[in-house]
């Protein structure tokens, strides 16, 4: 157990100090001292260097109420040349009628209606592929119908990240909204989303990009077409965002956006069962990642679980030994010295994680309360252990391909 504790804590520290710290101390050249960042984005939006035309694509299946809220926010983006392409995928909730009646209301909105499913591809991937192929512009910015941009400069802020050599992809952040009435489940969802972002944004900064989230993701259409879109995983349920990015992202072609004005906010699930089902579907896609990415993410999760399985026990044994033999007596024994080292490293890992993730949470809009991070860290260790068993368990193939 002692060796396992030392190894797992050591691996955790490598990730925390070597990778996560890159995001914690990342200096975005487009950030300014303004409280909401809008002033800096307003200046950048007026620069010809960051004004390429953009197609915002939203895929929607029975999202009438969400579209009523989202489309005005997208149509009002402060940017010189863009379109909002709504892919209405067989909606039967009045979406079609709403979009037809609103045609004259929105200056930038264009609608494509899909009336049937196709056997060779999952519905959302078909809708998204059709949208990308039909887009008027090369820059594609994706979001979901249940998302809301942080402000009028969301589009401009995402585009600024491409104004750098060789950049073809921008990874954005899409936090979930606070819901006090849903208590601990809302806090867990927000923290899990934050920690996922810590991983994929930090990995991108370390030259190891592996995923993005479709709630807030930009890339060039040419990149999509040259790599045959979703062809390699066309029948995999999900993965229209992370599997595609996993396939085409490199150390050189990815930028990140952590400017508060470029976030998109979503409504979280309201029950544990709904969230658990969503996470099972999302994590099942991970088995299609590149081998290197699966190894790095698996090592991170396994070391996280083992750290919390062994660390508290080693700490308790160390405390009891010190109380029984005294510190000098413990130091006189080789095993006692190792116990003290392991306990010290475990404590240092807790503090380092708390400080680094706390700073990232602050930078990413105070996603979670700083004081709650240690408890949520433990919760994630339990979550990884359970989810690891669940995702590795053989499951019956679901022959019905759901949209989401």
- Average confidence (pLDDT) over 14-27: 96
DSSP element (H, E) containing 217: strand 217-220
The three-state secondary structure class of 109 is: strand
The β-bridge partners of 60 are: 88
The number of residues in the chain equals 404
Could you read off the pLDDT of 299-356 as tens digits, one per residue? 999 999 999 999 999 999 988 888 888 777 777 777 888 889 999 999 999 999 999 9
DSSP one-letter string for 141-183: EEEETTEEESSTTHHHHHHHTTSSTT--EEE---PBPP-GGGH
The terminus-to-terminus CA distance of the chain in angstroms comes to: 42
pLDDT digits (tens, 9 = 90+) for 93-118: 999 999 999 988 999 999 999 998 88
Show the domains of the chain with their CATH numbers: 2-15+294-392 (no CATH), 27-271 (3.90.550.10)
Model confidence over 152-179: pLDDT tens digits?
A: 999 999 999 998 888 999 999 999 998 7
Structure tokens at 319: 């405390």
Estimate the share of the chain in helix, then strand, then coil, as percent rounded to the nearest 5. 55, 10, 35
Cα gap 286→293, rounded to integer Å: 9
Q: pLDDT tens across 27-41, in order?
A: 876 554 444 455 555
The pLDDT > 70 percentage for the chain reads 91
- 108 with 80: CB under 8 angstroms? no
Torsion angle, CA of 132/134/135/137, rounded to 10 degrees?
110
Q: What is the pLDDT at residue 100?
A: 93
- The strand ranges marked E within 228-354 are 254-256, 264-266
């Amino acid at each position: 157990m002692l060796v396992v504790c030392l190894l797992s804590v050591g691996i955790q520290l490598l990730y925390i100090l070597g990778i996560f710290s890159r995001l914690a101390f990342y200096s975005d050249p487009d950030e300014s001292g303004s409280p909401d960042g809008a002033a800096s984005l307003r200046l950048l939006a007026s620069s010809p260097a960051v004004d390429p035309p953009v197609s915002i694509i939203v895929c929607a299946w029975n999202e009438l109420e969400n579209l009523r809220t989202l489309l005005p926010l997208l149509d009002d983006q402060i940017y010189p040349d863009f379109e909002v392409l709504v892919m209405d995928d067989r909606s039967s909730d009045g979406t079609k009628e709403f979009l037809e009646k609103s045609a004259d209301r929105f200056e930038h909105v264009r609608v494509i209606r899909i009336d049937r499913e196709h056997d060779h591809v999952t519905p959302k991937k078909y809708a998204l592929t059709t949208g990308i192929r039909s887009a008027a512009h090369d820059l594609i910015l994706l979001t979901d119908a249940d998302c809301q941009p942080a402000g009028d400069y969301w589009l401009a802020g995402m585009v600024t990240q491409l104004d750098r050599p060789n950049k073809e992809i921008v990874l954005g952040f899409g936090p979930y909204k606070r819901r006090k009435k849903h208590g601990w489940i809302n806090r867990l969802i927000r923290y899990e989303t934050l920690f996922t972002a810590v991983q994929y944004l930090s990995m991108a900064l370390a030259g190891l990009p592996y995923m993005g989230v479709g709630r807030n993701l930009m890339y060039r259409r040419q990149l999509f077409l040259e790599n045959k879109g979703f062809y390699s995983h066309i029948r995999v349920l999900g993965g229209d965002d992370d599997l595609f990015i996993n396939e085409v992202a490199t150390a050189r072609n990815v930028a990140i956006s952590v400017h508060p004005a470029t976030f998109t906010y979503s409504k979280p699930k309201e029950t544990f069962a709904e969230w658990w089902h969503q996470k099972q579907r999302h994590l099942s896609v991970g088995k299609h990642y590149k081998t290197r990415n699966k190894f790095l993410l698996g090592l991170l999760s396994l070391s996280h679980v083992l750290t919390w399985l062994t660390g508290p026990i080693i700490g308790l044994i160390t405390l009891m030994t010190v109380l029984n033999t005294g510190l000098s007596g413990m130091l006189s024994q080789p095993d006692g010295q190792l116990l003290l080292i392991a306990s010290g490293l475990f404590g240092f890992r807790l503090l380092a994680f708390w400080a680094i993730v706390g700073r990232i949470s602050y930078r990413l809009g105070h996603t979670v309360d700083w004081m709650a991070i240690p408890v949520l860290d433990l919760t994630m260790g339990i979550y990884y252990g359970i989810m690891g068993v669940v995702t590795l368990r053989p499951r019956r193939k679901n022959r019905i391909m759901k949209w989401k």
